[in-house]
């Protein structure tokens, strides 16, 4: 924590007025990351007219968000082992957003009846592993044709 305080230009004591410990900081960062990403995705998905456009918009938002917040995303990935409830809430929020997207597509006759939650989880899995492969572990950029 001393290194974080030094880089932020604040005294260690000031830090502990706001956060109990390192875990509290990680939880706050993960919560903010989760909320910001879900908000961006929800807005983008509502702005598009059809399922293909919604999913392409979601893909671009997700990749762009992680590209701009790589360090925070790494922290978020570690939260799973520190605070499983926060980690699960993040994915449950994403599942709701994407399940709603598939349900809307069904109501508009764009897709056949499927389990919307399963479709949402599959979509999130694709997004997560594309980002993990290219932005986090790999060369640094997701190919445009992906």
Give the largest Cα separation in the chain, rounded.
Answer: 58
Residue 146 inside a domain? The answer is no
pLDDT tens digits along 109-142: 999 999 999 999 999 999 988 888 888 787 777 7
Q: Which two tokens stand for residue 65?
A: 């968000």
Residue 62 inside a domain? The answer is yes
Range of the structural domain that residue 127 is part of: 30-136
Number of domains in the chain: 1
The secondary structure of residue 145, as a DSSP letter, is T
Residue 96 inside a domain? The answer is yes
Q: What is the pTM of this model?
A: 0.81
CATH number at residue 80: 1.10.357.10
Residue 47 inside a domain? The answer is yes
Structure confidence at residue 25 as a pLDDT band (50, 70, 90): confident
Residue 43 inside a domain? The answer is yes
Residue 50 inside a domain? The answer is yes
Q: Cite the DSSP H helix spans in 1-145.
A: 2-8, 12-18, 22-47, 51-68, 70-82, 84-107, 116-131
Q: How far is CA 33 from CA 46, 52, 106, in A?
A: 20, 25, 30
Residue 122 inside a domain? The answer is yes
Q: What is the pLDDT of residue 145?
A: 67
| Residue whose tokens read 């994915």 | 91
Residue 1 inside a domain? The answer is no
């Amino acid at each position: 924590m001393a290194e974080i305080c030094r880089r932020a230009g604040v005294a260690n004591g000031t830090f502990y007025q706001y956060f109990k410990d390192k875990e509290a900081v990680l939880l706050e960062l993960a919560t903010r990351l989760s909320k910001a990403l879900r908000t961006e995705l929800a807005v983008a998905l509502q702005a598009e007219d059809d399922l293909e456009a919604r999913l392409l918009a979601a893909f671009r938002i997700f990749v762009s968000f992680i590209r701009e917040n790589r360090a925070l995303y790494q922290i978020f990935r570690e939260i799973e082992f520190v605070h499983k409830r926060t980690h699960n809430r993040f994915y449950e929020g994403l599942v709701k957003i994407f399940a709603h997207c598939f349900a809307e597509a069904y109501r508009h006759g764009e897709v056949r009846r499927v389990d919307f939650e399963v479709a949402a989880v599959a979509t999130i899995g694709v997004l997560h592993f594309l980002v993990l492969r290219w932005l986090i572990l790999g060369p640094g950029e997701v190919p445009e044709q992906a």
